[in-house]
């Protein structure tokens, strides 16, 4: 999908929501990629593996400035602290660089992502993966595409015959209340992978590259962009509370059901 750019490099005023989402994630990802070689420092947020760089802030500011100009009545929620309360009942949820640890250390699995939600749920998701020049779009009444071509389907199959995309921070592995459900679900899959970017992984899940994806404790910016793609590709999703932890699951319908069952039936931990 090619989205027009004004002569001054800004987004045209006439873009509909889908075209605007595409412009925003592609522009944010391109900006971060240009800044990447010049980024030599980072700030820790919750841990050494959860970091933020100047590129994150610059990319988020680009998105926020564009939305404030073109969608002034919409609300904004950004990972790096941007917030605006609008009057339309719609909210743009922004993750300017998802997979910042990979971004900073030279890995290829990072992306720019956003979602548009309202009281009816997540309406639209957009993810741009610069390393593959891959633009993913999908949402309600918008089947998931990759660079304008149908991305595939989240095919239903038993978890035992599927690859799971999973992640659990090592600090939670020390807590049986999180570790036991996680291991039960992981061991129920044929195999598993972890790329370090929830949005990259969910985009791949929407195309059937992974049969299911699950993590615990996700903020909306890590969940909603990819959720929109998976559901628009015919997949299913669930959010379940187990032992005080909240697990987010998305993928093929049978894989989601199997993963939820394994997460939920793991031994209770006092």
Residue positions forming the annotated binding site: 79, 95, 98, 222
Cα 152 from Cα 78, distance rounded (Å): 29
29 burial level (CB within 10 Å; 0-12, 13-18, 19+): buried
Cα 46 from Cα 32, distance rounded (Å): 22
**Among candidate residues 91, 134, 132, the one with its CA nearest the CA of residue 114:** 91
* Structural contact between residues 11 and 114, judged by C-beta atoms closer than 8 angstroms: no
Q: What are phi and psi of 3, to 5 degrees?
A: -110, 135
**Among candidate residues 203, 209, 121, the one with its CA nearest the CA of residue 164:** 209
- 85 is written with which tokens? 């309360």
Could you tell me which residues are annotated as the binding site for Mg(2+)? 79, 95, 98, 222
* Structural contact between residues 165 and 210, judged by C-beta atoms closer than 8 angstroms: yes
Residue 196, C-beta contacts closer than 8 angstroms, at least 6 positions apart: 99, 101, 102, 107, 109, 167
* Structural contact between residues 212 and 165, judged by C-beta atoms closer than 8 angstroms: yes
């Amino acid at each position: 999908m090619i989205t027009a750019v004004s002569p001054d490099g800004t987004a045209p005023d006439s873009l509909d929501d889908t075209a605007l989402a595409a412009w925003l994630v592609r522009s944010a990802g391109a900006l971060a990629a240009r800044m990447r070689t010049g980024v030599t420092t980072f700030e820790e947020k919750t841990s050494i593996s959860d970091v933020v760089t100047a590129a994150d802030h610059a990319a988020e500011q680009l998105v926020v400035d564009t939305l404030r100009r073109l969608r002034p009545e919409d609300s904004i929620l950004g990972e790096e602290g941007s917030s605006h309360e609008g009057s339309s009942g719609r909210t743009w949820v922004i993750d300017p660089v998802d997979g910042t640890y990979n971004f900073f250390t030279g890995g290829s699995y990072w992306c720019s992502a956003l979602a548009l939600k309202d009281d009816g749920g997540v309406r639209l998701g957009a993810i741009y993966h610069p390393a593959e020049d891959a633009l993913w779009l999908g949402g309600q009444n918008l089947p998931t595409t990759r660079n304008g071509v149908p991305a595939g389907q989240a095919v239903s199959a038993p978890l035992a015959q599927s690859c799971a995309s999973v992640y659990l921070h090592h600090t939670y592995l020390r807590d049986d209340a999180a570790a036991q459900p996680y291991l039960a679900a992981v061991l129920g899959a044929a195999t598993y992978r972890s790329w370090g970017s929830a949005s990259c992984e969910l985009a791949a899940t929407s195309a059937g590259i992974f049969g299911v994806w699950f993590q615990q404790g996700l903020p909306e910016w890590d969940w909603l962009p990819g959720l929109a793609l998976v559901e628009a590709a015919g997949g299913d999703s669930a959010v379940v509370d187990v032992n005080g932890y909240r697990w987010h699951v998305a993928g093929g319908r049978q894989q989601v059901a199997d993963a939820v069952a394994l997460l939920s039936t793991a031994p209770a931990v006092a």
